[in-house]
Structure 1
Amino acid sequence: MRNLDAGLASFASSPSAENGRKAGDEDRQGPPSPRYAAIKQFLTDAVRDGTLKPGDRVPSEAELVARFSVSRMTANRALRELQGTGLLVRRAGIGSFIAEPKPIGQMIEIRNIADEIRARGHAYRATVVHNAGEKATAETAALLEVSVGTHLFHSVIVHHEADLPIQLEERFVLASIAPDYGEMDFTQTTPNEYLTRMAPLERFEHRVTAAMPDARVRAMLGLGHAEPVLVMTRRTWSRARLVSHAWLTHPASRFELSAAFSVDR
């Protein structure tokens, strides 16, 4: 980050940096001064001119406080707002990094997430949180339209793109259609790959909603308290039976969904 360090030193000594030299002044005077906006502009320009690239670490709050002579609140606001625009990804206990371009998921196709990630030139890995058989409760039986007590499999998997959690997959599967599901090593294959082999797809439904995640989801996806998610609910049918119900949860700041289709005239 030598070029960025030089740029920061030059900016901090410029005439515009002399305004509000006392840390905290801008935060005590009611309407905030443009100091946080100046930091945002500087980092945005660094991305535009290539000084900072996706994956690069940006200065911490403490470094920005020292270099720009602002309060910690001002430095935090600059980083927080850049995160809100999608320019930065903040990782608790590690720092802030320039975000990769948002992955785009297809709404009208069912694609293997491992293939999608590798096609973008990134490494893929999965963390299996849970994968076991269980008897359907009243709630889970309704999801798959079966009787209470029916044998199901329940899996929870976090999919990572370049070591960043990109999707939390929670899925219930009808055991009679996919009898080996609970024995599969989903760090080596994906539920999508296995189910495609065992239960050829005949029909599927997608529904997407925005939500605020609970503490469990935040922890698995590495999210802050105020970060929303996009939740795709997916149901799939095979052999005229509903065989899988899944919730695919993505950090809204790191992911977007798209669809394209032709109109039959």
Structure 2
Amino acid sequence: MVDTATSMMDSLSKSIEDSPAPIYARVKQAICQKINSGEWQADQRVPSESEMVKALSVSRMTVNRALRELTDEGILVRQQGVGTFVAQKKAHSALFEVHNIADEIAARGHTHKAQLIEITRAKANMEEAMNLGVRTNHSIFRATILHFENELPIQIEERVVNASLAPDYDKQDFQLNTAYDYLMKVAPMTEGEHLVEAVIASPYECELLGINASEPCLQIKRRTWSKDKLVTTARLLSPGSRFQLFGHFGR
């Protein structure tokens, strides 16, 4: 019986295209094709450098560069002393648009769940008033929601909402309908802005997300308007290992 590594290498060698591109780039492309087609599954161990060098008749430097770049790009994961594996695909969100996180997760064929951590009605403090363009003591909602993808915590959503524009925000069932759903009904978004940063989560946030204290996180601070009214500000925090942003530029 042909072992798995040999079978994988036979298939890979047949996928390397004959083109003017450098050989390392063609090896990379062939590996990506195997992963994107689903032939090589997430968490599956890929053949070693030595196996690739022998089967593909290329130099170790060529294979090392291909694997190194694929690892840097998050397509492969290399575990010291264990081997190289196909990485889990990261969740991604649009960089230049605002989408419903539940829809993004569903589009990946996964299941979304939301857990309401806290929601209160309060009077805006100085910072909240400035961010929402209202007076201090204006009525607002503060909410924290934890989003899951296939039972894995993927994002903490901290949101401040102008209560005069979304008066029933605290009455929503966020498991059935996200904040995005409700806000788009009562105050449709016409404009938005966001700031993206790499940050380290607080101990409490690490506990909610189930991550180590040293893991970098992706933070998005966002404000959205409906016509000339600021409706909400939000802070979205996701583990860097589980989330990425994607943007498409036109010509």
TM-score computed with the length of structure 2 as normaliser: 0.67
Supply the distance in 2 between the matched residues of 1:98 and 1:113 (Cα, whole angstroms): 25
Residue 194 of structure 2 is matched in structure 1 by 206
Match of 1:163 among 136, 144, 151: 151
Residue 236 of structure 2 is matched in structure 1 by 248
Residue 153 of structure 1 is matched in structure 2 by 141
Residue 140 of structure 1 is matched in structure 2 by 128
Q: Kindly tell me: are residues 105 and 135 of structure 1, through their superposed partners in 2, closer, same or farther at Cα, counting changes over 3 Å?
A: same
Kept in 2, the 8 Å contact 1:137–1:148? The answer is yes
Q: Which runs of 4+ in 1 moved over 3 A?
A: 50-56, 85-88
Residue 192 of structure 1 is matched in structure 2 by 180
User: What is the aligned length?
Assistant: 189
Q: Which amino acid aligns with 2:224?
A: T
Kept in 2, the 8 Å contact 1:125–1:161? The answer is yes
Give the 3-state SS of the residue equivalent to 2:241 in structure 1: helix
The CA deviation at 1:100 is 2.6
The CA deviation at 1:239 is 3.0
Unaligned runs of 5+ in 2: 5-33, 45-70, 78-84
Deviation string, structure 1 residues 100-155 (Cα, Å, up to 9, x no partner): 30112101111100011011001110111012211111222122121110000111
Residue 108 of structure 1 is matched in structure 2 by 96
Query: Identity of paired residues, percent?
Result: 39
Query: What RMSD in Å do the two structures reach over aligned CA positions?
Result: 3.0
Give the 3-state SS of the residue equivalent to 1:142 in structure 2: helix
Supply the distance in 1 between the matched residues of 2:158 and 2:232 (Cα, whole angstroms): 10
The CA deviation at 1:261 is 2.9
Match of 2:111 among 120, 123, 129: 123
Supply the distance in 2 between the matched residues of 1:180 and 1:255 (Cα, whole angstroms): 31
Supply the distance in 2 between the matched residues of 1:125 and 1:87 (Cα, whole angstroms): 28
Give the 3-state SS of the residue equivalent to 2:115 in structure 1: strand
Q: Kindly tell me: are residues 201 and 225 of structure 1, through their superposed partners in 2, closer, same or farther at Cα, counting changes over 3 Å?
A: same
Give the 3-state SS of the residue equivalent to 2:147 in structure 1: strand
